[in-house]
Amino acid sequence: MTDESMLAQSLPRPHKKRTLLNELPPLPMTVIGWQGIRCVLPPEWNLTSFSMEREAGYIRADAPGDAAVTVQIRWQDAAETDRKVGTLYDVFAPKVRKLLGRPAPQQKPPDLRRLLNKVLKDAGKSAKKAGTSFESSTRPEKVEGDELERTAIPFSWVGGGRGQGKIWHCTKCNRVVVAQVIGIARDGGQVQSVAAGLFATLRDHSDDSLDLWALYDLQVKIPETFKLHQQQVMSGHLRLVFIRGGEMIVIDRWGLASMTLKKFKLEEWLATNVTVRLKSMDASVLTLQSGHEAHYYTGRLNLMDRFKVFRSARGLARPLAVRFEGGVWLCEDQNRIYSVQALTSRKTTGLWKMVADSVICCQ
Ligand SMILES: [Zn+2]
Ligand SMILES: [Zn+2]
- CB 222: neighbour CB atoms within 10 A? 22
Alpha-helical regions (H) of 13-106:
78-81, 88-100
Average pLDDT over the chain, rounded to an integer:
84
Q: Are 305 and 324 in contact (CB under 8 A)?
A: yes
**What pLDDT sits at residue 9?**
43
CA 324–ligand 2 middle distance (angstroms): 24
CA 291–ligand 2 middle distance (angstroms): 8
pLDDT at 127 over 80: yes
pLDDT over 90 percentage in the chain: 55
CA 212–ligand 1 middle distance (angstroms): 14
**What pLDDT sits at residue 101?**
59
Find the Cα–Cα–Cα–Cα dihedral 51, 54, 57, 63, rounded to 10°: 60
**What pLDDT sits at residue 106?**
57
Lowest-pLDDT range of 32-46, 230-244, 265-279, 280-294 = 265-279
Q: What is the pLDDT of residues 199-227, one digit of tens each?
A: 999 999 998 999 999 999 899 999 999 99
**What pLDDT sits at residue 185?**
76
CA 261–ligand 1 middle distance (angstroms): 43
Nearest ligand, CA of residue 202? 1
Q: What is the pLDDT of residues 55-104, one digit of tens each?
A: 899 999 999 987 789 999 999 988 876 554 444 455 455 555 555 555 55
**What pLDDT sits at residue 82?**
56
Which H or E element spans position 330?
Answer: strand 323-331
Instruction: Say yes or no: domain 226-358 is CATH 2.60.120.
Output: no
Burial 202-217 (b: 16+ CB within 10 A, else e): bbbbbeeebbbbbbbb
Q: What is the pTM of this model?
A: 0.83
Burial 330-354 (b: 16+ CB within 10 A, else e): bbeeebbbbbbbbbbbeebeebbbb
**What pLDDT sits at residue 277?**
85
**What pLDDT sits at residue 25?**
72
Nearest ligand, CA of residue 292? 2
CA 171–ligand 2 middle distance (angstroms): 37
Parse the chain into domains and list their residue ranges: 3-201, 226-358
Nearest ligand, CA of residue 174? 1
Nearest ligand, CA of residue 330? 2
CA 342–ligand 1 middle distance (angstroms): 28
Lowest-pLDDT range of 24-38, 75-89, 189-203 = 75-89
**What pLDDT sits at residue 110?**
87
**What pLDDT sits at residue 17?**
47
pLDDT at 22 over 70: no
**Burial environment of residue 218 by CB neighbours within 10 A (0 to 12, 13 to 18, 19 or more):** buried
Q: Comparing C-alpha atoms, which of 110, 231, 106, 104 is closest to residue 168?
A: 110
Average pLDDT over residues 253-264: 90
**What pLDDT sits at residue 10?**
45
**What pLDDT sits at residue 87?**
46
pLDDT at 120 over 70: yes
Instruction: Give the chain's length.
Output: 363
In Å, how far from its chain's centre is CA 313? 20
CA distance 351 to 329: 17
* Confidence category of residue 315, pLDDT binned at 50, 70, 90: low
CA 330–ligand 2 middle distance (angstroms): 7
In Å, how far from its chain's centre is CA 10? 18
